[in-house]
Amino acid sequence: MADDPNSPPPERAKAHLGFVVNGEPVEVAFAPHKTLLEVLREDLGLTGTKHGCELGECGTCAVLVDGRPVLSCLYLGLECEGRSVETVEGMANAAGLHPLQKAFADLGAAQCGYCTPGFLLTARALLDSNPRPTLPEIREALAGNLCRCTGYVKIFEAVELAAAWMRGEETQPRTETLYGTSFDESGLLPVVRS
Amino acid sequence: MKRPRTRVVGRPYPKVDAAAKVTGQTKFADDLFLPRMLHCKLLRSKVAHAKLLRVDVSKALAMPGVIAAATGRDLPIAFGILPVSQDEHALAPDRVRYVGDPIAAVAAVDEDAAFAALDAIDVEYEPLPAIGSIDDAVASPEPRIHDYGDAGNFHKLVAMEFGDTEKGFEEADRVYDDLFFYEGSTHLPLEQHAAVGDFGPDGKLTVWSSTQTPHYVHRALAKVLQMPAARIRVIATPNGGGFGGKSDPFNHEIVVAHLSRVTGRPVKICLTREEVFYCHRGRHPTLMRVRTGVKRDGAITAMHFQTVLDGGGYGSYGVASTYYTGALQTVTYRVPAYRFEGARVFTNKPPCGPKRGHGTPQPRYALEAQIDKIACDLGLDPAEMRKAHLVPPNSLTANFLRVGSMGLAACIDKVVEASGWRERRGKLPFGRGLGLACSSYICGAGLPIYWNSMPQSGVQLKLDRGGGVTVFCGSIDIGQGSDSVLAYVVAEVLGIDPFDIRVVTADTDLTPVDLGSYSSRVTLMTGNAALQAAERARELLVEAVAAKLGIPKTRVALAEGRAFDVEEPGDSGMPFADAVALAEAKFGTIGTVGSYTPPPSAGRYRGAGVGPSPAYSYSAAIVEVDVDPETGIYTVPKVWIAHDVGKCINPVLVVGQVEGSVYMGLGEAMMEEMAYRSGVNGNVVHKMPSLLEYKSPTTKEMSEVVTFLVEDPDPNGPFGAKEVGQGPLLPIPPAVANALYDAVGVRVDEIPATPEKVHAALKLARTGKTPRVGPARFPDIPYPPSMRVLTPEEGGDGKAVHQPPTGAGGVRRDVIETVPP
């Protein structure tokens, strides 16, 4: 029994290491058993990375390590020494949202928004390596990320739209994406574009 | 192309919180880190049913880093969502009723220390026989899981008859009698429940929680902690998915508040994924017997619907769920005489409650699967047969539900046409098939959960002389976009950009009461409250502007961020901010309120509180399946769905809700189930409390979805809007089952329709037996004598003509049970 109840158990001496997060070098001390997820959220204050299971089952905590998507709940903080980590906080810059972020926002691909950071980073890794993915390729790349709100449909459409924007195409969202399959002949559902 | 008459409503704006969500800036409950914050963990029962002989936390308290602990003795007052089922305790005082029932709690300096301390808590159980199924509960009146309820382990028994069903069955050309079972499934929100309690030195308590019902959490905290509600502030954080699973007041919310009061420090808890499975409150496993009499043309003459629900260990919303399994059968096709008998049993499993569709997907599945059988048997097209017997708009059903707008015929037409139903059904190669089903859902319950005559939703507006508009409302955004709906409605009326509006929601200190994000009530009810508040504000601005411009009020328009004379739109007028300043100068500080109370329901019988709604949404879906007849493995390549939403406040959000509902319906139809190991050493244990083993559809299983939005505006909805968050789930499971029949000629009368069941049915077909898989018998349920209500056609006034006394459990005053005044 410790004399001071506020002191942590003695065996948990902290590890101290440096890596790069969203382009910025950080130094951080943390209990060595901590996962990257915990280090990001608890020690670096980057709560944009979420968790759904902490068992590697849902993809919610996905971040990029040296450009590759990893499940931060299964990745020890210690493994990050000298590496470059990218989280959702690093996707937007002074110029604005990343095309994936804008497409997710415009198309309603983020409903509750909890799985969104993991989807965005996984999709980013896909588009970085494959600028023109087919729908089956998008489904395959995102198969490890669960979403309970959207049924994935708007997510697929957002990834396709963002990919087009990133290729420099001046693509607009499809009418069916915004309004459902059009019902214009009855005049019940007027079609407008803002 | 037609121009909309509205400028904001109906347009595909992003959500007002979209930017925060795609940048990871939305603060969910577990994202809150307060100075000096402690971390809480709950010790949960390892035994399904037991008396607690001893719970000793002294060793845990002595562990390093542990600051406080609590047991059931510390929080002895019972709570529960329904006034009639106050059967939960924050920590079990003397009895546990399912594996996962919370027994004790610790608060420690970090999560690791809190986890470690759980192992040091001593619990001595005296095991009791555990009840694991409906059959167990029916067969075992003892030991009673609760000492209240209608009989033995029956929590609730209800029976009601509208019109003369026996006469209806006599008039039928044929009577169909089918059994169906719908397995339990869970919400599976990606965000685990989390809460933070912070008891301040001023004696006031703040609780942040991922809850869909901050108002009910507020009430439960005041009751259990014995604190004045005025000193408690509940802030619902944005929910990372709810689907009904965060609608009850929960143990952990009360525990962190208590531990904060004890320690004087903020206390946080975030449940593990396994614990979320134990919190549950999901779909009730439901066994159903459906007898339906029909004429040769498919017209229904009478229906007798019997249900029995597996409620799990506590009441939760169960009494309402039970009534809901019998309420909405009458709002799609005309049912002139209707009898409903429902039962809910207690079992030693996590409690069931409201999941998307609350109590109605199970009977809707049974009804639509039986309708398909009837149409096939009578040689009628299932789409045409349904269309021929629709409930007319603006009518009153046999059980006194008032149907307003009713766009189901248009929905059926849309999916029939788009899917090639007439050309393809019954004509595709063996293994491929199409199935149709329809449904309806409420747009908010007509009555609140606890008895009161106050509004169900309130909105306050504050207009700033700088042009800023702030909307205050108790509603909580669970991802469906309720914050956005508030902004769109106010922006429409005031003629400003919705992104210029600040929305403050779900904070009991700052916002007027809204009952919560459940029963698909938010767009209709908060939308109407916001509309009223905005129109009152508009009136003040218009009066001030008219006076300034020297024109009649009728000539003032508010649009495009300006106030101007409609007869001189180019030259007259002023920016919106100047109009607010004028109004402030004229009237003083500008603030308005709006509120919404649903119209009184027509039914006056006991149980009439469940089913009435200001409006009903309608959906029709056609599902295409591709079955491998060798294995029973099948896919759903495509779904066509049409939904009558009344009016789209924002089509992108409406389509998103439709697609999400289709997805969740497919999960339930094909794979999702809460499965338990029962009888192992008398215990009942969840088989797979993890996201990996509880199968839900991934990106690779999800179908292509073609969505049609049908707008049949309802006079009770804001701009005519009806619900969309739950209704489109309902037709999916029966459409899958009906498509399997079209594809391979087998009936799977049990959800989920797994490949194993399809395979078993195909095997029966090959051996010449009836190719059906499903329940074989309905247990003998001691339903009480049916209360008899004359239908509107019989000249009934909505009151029961004969109302037998209720059982022992029906004596408490509750809105569901009380005869409305």
Q: pLDDT tens digits for B300-358?
A: 999 999 999 999 999 999 999 999 999 999 999 999 999 999 999 999 999 999 999 99
Q: Give the nearest chain A residue to B646 (CA atoms).
A: A188
Is A96 in the B-facing interface, judged by CB distances under 8 Å?
no
Set of chain A residues whose Cβ sits within 8 Å of the Cβ of B719:
none
Set of chain A residues whose Cβ sits within 8 Å of the Cβ of B480:
111
Alpha-helical runs (H) found in chain A: 36-38, 99-107, 116-129, 135-141, 153-166, 175-179
Q: How many CB pairs under 8 A join A and B?
A: 254
Instruction: Indicate which of A148, A156, A175 best probes the interface with B, i.e. most B CBs within 10 Å of its own CB.
Output: A148
Q: Do the Cβ atoms of A134 and A126 come closer than 8 Å?
A: no
Residue whose C-alpha is closest to residue B579's, from B495, B471, B490: B495
Please report the pLDDT score of residue B821 as a whole number. Answer: 43
* Average confidence score pLDDT of chain B: 96
pLDDT bracket for residue B636 (50, 70, 90): very high
Q: Do the Cβ atoms of B182 and B362 come closer than 8 Å?
A: yes
Whether residues B190 and A60 touch (CB distance < 8 A) is answered with yes
Q: Give the nearest chain A residue to B274 (CA atoms).
A: A53
Is B4 in the A-facing interface, judged by CB distances under 8 Å?
yes
The token pair that represents B793 in the structure block? 């056609």
Fold agreement (A15-90, A99-186): no
Whether residues A105 and B19 touch (CB distance < 8 A) is answered with yes
Q: If one looks up domain A99-186 in CATH, what number appears?
A: 1.10.150.120
Please report the pLDDT score of residue A190 as a whole number. Answer: 40
- How many whole angstroms separate alpha carbon B525 and alpha carbon B442? 12
Interface of B with A in 692-711 (CB under 8 A): 692, 696, 698-700, 702, 705-711
Is B454 in the A-facing interface, judged by CB distances under 8 Å?
no
Residue whose C-alpha is closest to residue B473's, from B727, B767, B214, B285: B214
Going edge to edge, which strands form the sheet with B616-627? Answer: B432-442, B616-627, B634-644, B704-710
pLDDT tens-digit readout, B177-213: 999 999 999 999 999 999 999 999 999 999 999 999 9
| Dihedral pair phi/psi, residue B196, rounded to 5° | -130, 130
Set of chain A residues whose Cβ sits within 8 Å of the Cβ of B481:
108, 111
Q: What amino acid occupies position B775?
A: P
Set of chain B residues whose Cβ sits within 8 Å of the Cβ of A143:
698-700
Domain ranges of chain B: 18-25+454-596, 32-128+189-242+246-279, 157-186+282-447+605-773
Please report the pLDDT score of residue B572 as a whole number. Answer: 83
pLDDT bracket for residue B678 (50, 70, 90): confident
Of B22, B241, B652, the CB nearest to A101: B22
Please report the pLDDT score of residue A185 as a whole number. Answer: 44
Set of chain A residues whose Cβ sits within 8 Å of the Cβ of B1:
184, 190-192
Fold agreement (B18-25+454-596, B157-186+282-447+605-773): yes
Q: If one looks up domain A15-90 in CATH, what number appears?
A: 3.10.20.30
Of B110, B189, B239, the CB nearest to A8: B110
Of B65, B67, B480, the CB nearest to A111: B480
ipTM over 0.85: yes
* CA Rg value for chain A: 20
Is A74 in the B-facing interface, judged by CB distances under 8 Å?
no
Q: What amino acid occupies position B45?
A: S
Whether residues A189 and B711 touch (CB distance < 8 A) is answered with yes
- How many whole angstroms separate alpha carbon B599 and alpha carbon B646? 18
Going edge to edge, which strands form the sheet with B750-751? Answer: B750-751, B174-182, B286-294, B300-310, B338-345, B154-162, B787-789, B800-802
Distances (CA, A) of B336 to B372, B673, B797: 20, 35, 16
Count the helix, strand and coil residues of chain A and give each as a percent rounded to the nearest 5: 35, 15, 50
* CA Rg value for chain B: 27
Residue whose C-alpha is closest to residue B431's, from B665, B772, B770, B758: B758
- How many whole angstroms separate alpha carbon B266 and alpha carbon B507? 18
Set of chain B residues whose Cβ sits within 8 Å of the Cβ of A157:
none
Whether residues B702 and A188 touch (CB distance < 8 A) is answered with no
- How many whole angstroms separate alpha carbon B746 and alpha carbon B760? 10
Task: Evaluate if residue A167 carries a pLDDT over 50.
Answer: yes
Is A117 in the B-facing interface, judged by CB distances under 8 Å?
yes
The token pair that represents B634 in the structure block? 């099948």
Q: What amino acid occupies position A167?
A: R
Q: Is the domain covering B32-128+189-242+246-279 a CATH 3.40.50.1370 domain? A: no
Q: What amino acid occupies position B231?
A: R
Please report the pLDDT score of residue B429 as a whole number. Answer: 98
User: How many other CB atoms are there within 10 angstroms of residue B760's CB atom?
Assistant: 17
How much is the average pLDDT of B165-169? 98
pLDDT tens-digit readout, B50-107: 999 999 999 999 999 999 999 999 999 999 999 999 999 999 999 999 999 999 999 9
Distances (CA, A) of B592 to B472, B486, B526: 10, 14, 15
User: pTM of the prediction?
Assistant: 0.96
- Please enumerate in sequence order all residues whose Cβ is within 8 A of that of A129, keeping only pairs 6 or more positions apart, or say none: none
Domain ranges of chain A: 15-90, 99-186
Whether residues B658 and A180 touch (CB distance < 8 A) is answered with yes
Q: Do the Cβ atoms of A180 and A173 come closer than 8 Å?
A: no
Task: Evaluate if residue A158 carries a pLDDT over 80.
Answer: yes
Residue whose C-alpha is closest to residue B286's, from B750, B809, B773, B669: B750
How much is the average pLDDT of B472-477? 98
Tell the CATH topology of B157-186+282-447+605-773: Aldehyde Oxidoreductase; domain 4 (3.30.365)
Of A55, A92, A143, the CB nearest to B690: A55
Q: Which CATH number, 3.40.309.10, 3.65.10.10, 3.40.190.10, 3.30.365.10, labels domain B18-25+454-596?
A: 3.30.365.10
